[in-house]
Amino acid sequence: MKKIILAVVLLAAAGGALYLYFSPKLTDKRSTVSYAETIIGDWKIDSVAANDSGSIGLLLLSMDADLTNYTFRFDADGAITQLLNDSVLPQKGRYEWKDSTQLVIIEGDSATDKELMQVLSFTPEQFSVMSADSAVLYFKRKK
């Protein structure tokens, strides 16, 4: 009887050790893939806010009357297409994930025009990012 109890305890300990060993590896892969796959699609700017009232980015964004009419199409290959109503605007853009908390936006053809955006929240239906000048953009998935 003692041998059976000892075997059960050893088997449970081995299962726990395997779980602890493989659990972090599975979690890291799933979260990275989730962001990369979830951002694919059409998004609209829902609103803009700033922590700092002197934010230059917020001032420039507020001067654009069509700001909430833009649709940003994030493609799987890293391309961003900007649409206004149903017409495509001639602006080229790319995006790439630095990690699950930072999104890099590359504007134009030059790789030097990069803007690092801090991801504040991210769900399949909405996400928010903060630029270097503290302007916060809130995006909603377009249905």
- pTM of the predicted model, to two decimals? 0.66
Q: Along the 143 residues of the chain, how does pLDDT read in single tens digits?
A: 778 887 777 777 777 777 777 776 554 444 444 677 889 999 998 888 876 655 555 565 666 667 778 888 999 898 988 888 777 776 778 998 888 788 898 887 666 678 888 999 888 999 999 888 778 888 999 87
pLDDT, position 125: 92
Fold classification of 40-141 is Lipocalin (2.40.128)
Residue 78 burial (C-beta neighbours within 10 Å; 0-12, 13-18, 19+): middle
pLDDT, position 57: 56
Q: Write down the mean pLDDT value for the chain.
A: 78
- Domains of the chain, by residue range, sit at 1-38, 40-141
pLDDT, position 43: 92
